[in-house]
A = this chain, B = another copy of it.
Amino acid sequence: MAKQSQVIARERVLEAAERLFAGRGYAAVTLRDIGQAVGIKHASLYYHFPRGKEELYVEVTARRMQRYREGLERAIASARNGWYERLEAAANWMLAQPTMYLGRMMQSDMPAISDEAAEQLRKIVYSSLLQPLVAIFQNALQDNPEKLARSATYAGMFLSLIEGIDNLPASYVQGSKQELVKIMLDMLSNGIVGK
């Protein structure tokens, strides 16, 4: 194939790799898969990413998380100014995205790459996902110092619940995702059982 612009070729590789890694995870995607998706041989990938698969994975994952964070912050900012509305906007936006596979990322992909790369990515992933949510809780809990200090914990719980909605089998979660978000937010507001 004819020589292409350096930037364009590299960008096409990044896009294909991002789509594949995000969908199947680190180990299940081979360099040959990525090459095939772009239309080049896998050996040619080393021209753009001399250090190979891991370098490619780190770069696309970092990129993906940063874009995710931007989208999440935008979705939150565009909601009305109450904590309920902001959490609802965050949840609905996240559930409208392709599944994040956070569990696989943390429990399967990270252990498969070098410790340094994993540590770097873990920070990016959690700051991208959690910080926008932490801000909502901090704002909502201003009047309650004890709970305010637990904003990060609440944000983590919220994130876990979102992930759970994406993962639980359909047979266990009757109703649409939007309805589940309402149930979830109702729980965060008033509790389930009442003590």
Contact = CB atoms under 8 A, between A and B. Distances in A.
A187 B188 contact: yes
Interface stretch (A7-15, A42-50, A146-154): A146-154
Contacts of A152: 172-174
Contact of A192 (B122, B147, B159, B174): B147
A141 interface: yes
Interface residues on A, range: 35 or more
Interface stretch (A53-61, A72-80, A106-114): A106-114
Contacts of A141: 192-193
Interface of A: 24-25, 27-28, 83-84, 101-104, 106-108, 111-112, 122, 126, 130, 137, 140-141, 147, 150, 152-157, 159-161, 163-165, 167-169, 172-175, 180, 183-184, 187-195
